[in-house]
Chain A
Amino acid sequence: MSDDKPTAPPEETPAAPESEEKKEQQPLSDEEKAAKIAEAKAKAASRKAAEEAEPKDPWEEKPVPPNHEDASDDPDAVALGSGMPGIVLAADRFAGEVTLSVPADRIVDVCRFLKHDCDYKFLVDLTAVDWPDREEGRFDVIYWMHRFDDSKRLRLHAVVADEVPISSVTEVWKTADWMEREVYDLFGIVFENHPGLERILTWEGFNGHPLRKDFPLEGIDTGAAIYPDVYPPGGGPVLEEADEEEGGAA
């Protein structure tokens, strides 16, 4: 916009009288004007019709955001429901991905069933989502698995409350080991029967779980476990106190 400004005025000034002259030479009657307007309208209409008739490529259309659909007819949901009645609490399809909600306390049975009876041999991902204010439980634990025969993927979704452990699925898929350690480290969800549930990305002695929504982005002082005499456990030094100490020393 700013580039146009300096060049615009010199062009306009000579153009203005010229157009006036033209108007004087060929004044348009009302009929002619009406005809021109009608012509333009017809053109626009025909163009619009042509556009409508001609199928556009999907990329020329407006974005079509995905919708939630019921997926209780999904073959895996049906198989799981008949193998373990009442286990599927909800089945949802969104953007072509099927999510089955299952109770957290039976997660290992469900995973074993899916691996051995539905052939989901490959656990692609395991993660969690924190919803601090949700009543039915704070965390979603998400399992995302893959079947080789028809390249189908399925997501399991289990809700766990804060400070309630969930069983580890490492005995079903070995690859869940580090994924569960990461979820434990970053969310503080405890996985029972895990072969070695330790922090993985942060260090032992780190205070808090960074991906919880109530963990501040700027971080907290986490030297607590390393220098317990300097920093009390459960949080770092309060800034004001530190200032006072500094002032006192000086």
Chain B
Amino acid sequence: MTGPDRPLFDVEEMEINFGPQHPATHGVLRVKMKLDGEKIMEAKPIIGYLHRGTEKLFETMNFPQCIPHTDRMDYVAAATNNQGFCVTMEKLLGITIPPRAAYIRIILAELQRLASHLVWLATHAVDIGAITPFFYTFRERDAILDLFEEYCGARLTLNTMKIGGVPFELPDGWLDRCSELVDGFNAHIEEYENLLTENRIWKKRTIDVGVVSAEDAIEWGLTGPPLRGSGVKWDIRKIFPYDRYDEIDFEIPIGKKGDTYDRYLVRMEEMRQSVRILRQCLDRLPDGPHMAKVPKVLRVKEAGMVYGAVEAPKGELGYFIVATEKATAPYRCRVRPPSFINLQMLPAMVEGHLVADLVAVIGTLDIVLGEIDR
């Protein structure tokens, strides 16, 4: 039916929905795209499918009751969410936590970082077409979750920190089992890298995809591995040390070009640094109580607003708490979710690229919709 008066192809732009029920969107993210063939002309992320009004709920609860709700935001990194809230509350109440509590927190947070990065690597690799790393990384993630389960009884929504310390003393033999995991972990990272780092397909799919310059990264407010992948040396653990991170020796890995491959390398190196941090904490874990002496009812003295941040696996996780005088509950608790602000850059990163690159870029941003929608 084709002839000289009919074009061979339909050249109209096609509008297409990617998600919200699509496995490669890592949750309920919907991207509304205008396509020219396979090229993305316009991409618009649409979010909110998982909005549960957590910030509104915070206002109705007293301070310790908020902690379990923080688990449900970035649900693959619950421990760092707890930590962020507790660190902010301690700033507001003026509590200093005992050294042992701080070290246990660092151990939990770094284990959580490893677990979160393993989920990222698994899903990122599956999205791009490499299924094997998934089985390898989930094997190690399971071992980490076993440690969490032994410590606090939960594997995902941990609720593992309290304002003023950590809820429990470590169980007998936990440190040995953790030590064993930590000692063997670098070999596992080696395994993943053998599968991917020099893999020709992996390099083709990631190098020069989703390039972000350092200026753009700062302008768009990126934090965490996406910012470091663009070559900005920035880590909350270093610039605003919390929970005795200032006593720990570690490096901040940074990338050069700011493409997907660089961000991959940054996260792999971050896992090695986490192992290094864990090793130091396990060797130097001080004795003493695991909770500071905090009053039974936590009451704010003066009205005021504080912002506390931690380096979550996804970036800077901040809590902004406004409290009135003598309050036992937050008047307003804003969460600065790193995924929400990192995702904002998605259109700028994919426009002009292919649909397949969109999948790679969503993977490299490492988003969790529970945190984006709150």
Contacts and interface: CB of A to CB of B under 8 A. Distances in A.
Interface residues of A, number: 47
B47 A201 contact: yes
B221 A175 contact: yes
Interface string A184-223: 0010000000000001111100000011000101000000
A177 B343 CA distance: 12
A175 B220 contact: yes
Contacts of A231: none
A174 interface: yes
Contacts of A153: 307
B184 interface: no
Contact of A201 (B95, B305, B320, B373): B373
Given A67-B302, A68-B302, A151-B239, A178 B218 contact: no
A250 interface: no
Nearest to B238: A151
Contacts of A129: 305, 322, 331-332
A127 B340 CA distance: 14
A70 interface: no
Nearest to B291: A59
Interface in A18-58: 57-58
A70 B303 CA distance: 15
B65 interface: no
Interface in A109-153: 121-125, 127, 129-130, 142, 144, 148, 151, 153
A175 B344 contact: yes
A125 B94 contact: no
Contacts of A124: 221, 307, 309, 316, 318, 336
Contacts of B51: 201-202
Interface string B276-302: 000000000000000011100000111
Interface stretch (B52-60, B115-123, B255-263): B52-60
A200 B221 contact: no
Nearest to B300: A65
Nearest to B97: A59
B91 A95 contact: yes
A66 interface: yes
B179 interface: no
A43 B344 CA distance: 65
Contact of A95 (B55, B221, B306, B332): B306
A187 to B, nearest CB: 10
A94 B306 contact: yes
A63 interface: yes
Nearest to A122: B218
Contacts of A177: 344
A74 interface: no
B94 A97 contact: no
Contact of A121 (B218, B294, B300): B218
A244 interface: no
B96 interface: yes
B48 interface: yes
| Most B Cβ at <10 Å: residue of A67, A99, A200 | A200
A66 B304 contact: yes
A211 B55 CA distance: 8
B99 interface: yes
B105 to A, nearest CB: 13
Contacts of B95: 63
A104 interface: no
Contacts of A200: 47-48
Contact of A97 (B47, B307, B322): B307
A68 B320 CA distance: 17
B320 A151 contact: no
B240 interface: yes
Nearest to A129: B332
Given A58-B96, A95-B91, A201-B51, A144 B320 contact: yes
A179 interface: yes
A71 B99 CA distance: 32
Given A65-B93, A65-B302, A179-B341, 12 more contacts: A59-B96, A63-B93, A64-B94, A66-B94, A97-B305, A129-B305, A129-B322, A144-B307, A173-B219, A177-B344, A182-B340, A201-B374
Interface of A: 57-68, 94-95, 97, 99, 121-125, 127, 129-130, 142, 144, 148, 151, 153, 155, 173-175, 177-179, 182, 186, 199-203, 210-211, 215, 217
8 contacts: A66-B306, A122-B221, A124-B309, A124-B318, A129-B322, A173-B221, A174-B219, A175-B341
Interface of B: 47-48, 51, 53, 55-57, 60, 91-99, 218-221, 232, 234, 239-240, 292-294, 300-302, 304-307, 309, 316, 318, 320, 322, 331-332, 334, 336, 340-341, 344, 373-374
